[in-house]
Structure 1
């Protein structure tokens, strides 16, 4: 009887590591599970019921990993949007440095009293 070995090590580290390395790790796990799913049909030691159970379990793990991958990609998209918004903010008119011509500085002002 063959068992599922390394496929039960689902990446549950949501806060540690870079999102790129997490994405790579999860993708590798998905590929390994898909290969395991393909090789399951060639396993003659298992009964059809055992194969069906293992297939359901592997497909469930793949679905969890795909959901986790989608969550990481969503977080990456949100971070990119925040960066883009942050880079747009300094371009507003109120943050321009006064140059003393039409926008006087503290040392370059003209007080006119009539």
Structure 2
């Protein structure tokens, strides 16, 4: 009786590796697990109970990897938002857009002569 190996390495989110390489690595692992899941259904060497256990284990690994992938994508989105906020903050106040209240526009200003 042969069992299908279901060991995968899960990439840790360390500061040394880039998000893009982590995303690529996790995506490759998910594809490999999906292929393994497909080949499991074609296997005649395992009983139905063994196939069900293997399928459940592989599906849980895929779910963990998808959660990790979602977390990395969320971190990327947060970093992008922080960069966007940081690029907006350096305004010193003199270049702010006129809103017509405290910084009048050409169409919304008063000239008062006494």
TM over 0.5: yes
> How many aligned positions are there?
94
Match of 1:14 in 2: 13
Q: Does 1:76 align with 2:95?
A: no
What is the match of residue 108 of structure 2?
none
Residue 10 of structure 1 and its aligned partner are, at CA, apart by: 1.9
SS at match of 1:9: coil
In 2: Cα distance, 1:58 partner to 1:70 partner: 18
Pair 1:39 & 2:73 matched: no
Distance 1:20 1:10 in 2: 15
Deviation, 1:4, is 1.4
| Cα deviation code 1:26-49 (max 9, x no counterpart) | 000000000110110110000000
Structure 2: unaligned runs, 5 residues or longer = 96-114
Q: Name the Cα RMSD after superposition.
A: 1.8
User: SS where residue 90 of structure 2 aligns?
Assistant: helix
Between Structure 1 and Structure 2, which shows a larger proportion of helix residues? 1
Q: 1:60 Cα deviation (Å)?
A: 0.2
Determine if the alignment matches structure 1 residue 3 to structure 2 residue 26. no
Deviation at 1:92?
A: 3.8
Deviation >3 Å, runs of 4+: none
Alignment of 1:27-106 (within 5 A): 27-93=27-93
Gaps of 5+ in 1: 96-114
Counterparts of 1:27 and 1:10 in 2: how far apart (Å)? 11
TM-score calculated relative to the size of structure 1? 0.76
- Cα separation, 1, equivalents of 2:76 and 2:52: 36
